[in-house]
Structure 1
Amino acid sequence: MNSARAAWRRLEPVHGMIYFVPEARRRYADLGLSRRAGYFASRSAAFGQASAELVTATFYNFHPELVRQAVDEAWDTATPQQVLDARYAAAGEALRRAGIHELPDLAEVLALVRRAAEAAREHTQGRPLFAAHAALAWPEEPVLQLWHAQTLLREFRGDGHVACLLSEGVGGLDALVLHAATGEVPVDFLKASRAWPEEEWADAEERLRKRGLLDGDSLSAEGATLRGHIEDRTNRLALPAYAALGDAGCERLAELATPFGHAVIETGLLKLG
């Protein structure tokens, strides 16, 4: 399990950069979309013209009114196919800027990560975001194939994570508050990006204190145990994809993926801007 998680984590910057790079903002702006509308539309466009309710449910931790405003703006302005095309174009531009297409192990990394992504496609049940993206055609360009494969694995893992949160009675806002309590991400960033009002955030904090998951503004011992349990279950639910590689394949992918993640980070593709 550790090798599978390492394989995903080290290559994840290749996918995650799409939410930060100026190439994406420019492509969405060319369609007339704001940054927020571009985010919600581009990640949900695999569903087709997704409703705000569907996006709120599957993205899980954003305030419903934020989602509604962004989704209404998006589908009043562009079609899902236009948004998908813009997203792939931006991904290719950004990854080429990072030099991903020139890395010597691209072919082997792509072969491994695509095998894992294809294996995941045999396990779509209960994974709506993953299933929608898995139904999209594979791009032709190797760099975009790599991005698509890692996108599939990210959504596969993400859908499993939502299932774990739901099974433990941790709603979207609760999950944000518990994440903020770890100190790993600034609370102001989580509040601003997910648009939860102060009153609702405070109510969630009080609810979690009553459950014994928070001690003041920090995680309690019970809260830390719960988060560890959820992370462990999330890792286990992601295993069907990586089982196709075996331990040796996962270790090889983790080893080879490191320069790819570093290239994305060192080029600044993950910087907020």
Structure 2
Amino acid sequence: MVELPNSPHAVVTGAARGIGRQIALQMTGAGAVVTALGRQTAALEDLVAHGVAHSYVTADVTDQAAVVAAMREAAARQPIDILIANAGAAESASFAKSDAALFRRMMDVNFMGVVHSIQAALPAMRERPFGRIVVIASTAGLKGYAYVSAYAAAKHAAIGLVRSLALELASTRITVNAVCPGFTDTDLVAGSLDTIMKKTGRDRSAAVAELTKHNPQGRLISPTEVADTVLWLCGEGAGAVTGQAIAVAGGEI
């Protein structure tokens, strides 16, 4: 069991569902004071009601002013020690059909959302004795996939940010890392499976096989496996791990 030092305050963006929800749950279980950040008030209230998080703040990560205000509100309760920049979105289209608006949407949420979150949290975090920044990227940030060029470009950018910022902060006690899941068993992926089944007439097992064909283990990753990796990176034992992009993908590289 990973132990977190002195009940640190962790803010998890995109915490309302999927990987973000599981990260919040496991961070709370490990002794962190967790603030969930997201857009959907009802879903965030549900997290608090079920003990997944201690409190919540609302913001769209593409809105820099809203993120600054939300981080300020969270920090007023307790200074922020850990930031999990998880909020993201995926859209698929061939490159020929990927217009500038699609590229901007993917960059705004998957890259600039990370930038806004870190810029809002980092100045005060530098005054703390302990700090962790973990960006939830994707295997799409480590390699290319067909029909998701805008998404992959944004995730590559996020990983580049992680590697550069880690070097800037190497002399501090703040580490900066990325976790790169493969296709994960979330409601977002469930939507992709529904699309595959609708377009191809395949059953669910065949649709899963299509999504996981690049995973040597031939399966979807569980949100718990991703959250376990995040939790380890936030522990004292990972203090020398920074600037890394860790794939949680069943051996896919």
The question of a shared fold, defined as TM-score above 0.5 by the shorter chain, is answered with no
**Highest relative contact order (Cα 8 Å, sep 6+), 1 or 2?**
1
**TM-score, scaled to structure 1:** 0.30
**TM-score, scaled to structure 2:** 0.31
Q: Which has the larger share of strand?
A: 2
Structure (1 or 2) with the larger CA radius of gyration: 1
Q: Which has the larger share of helix?
A: 1
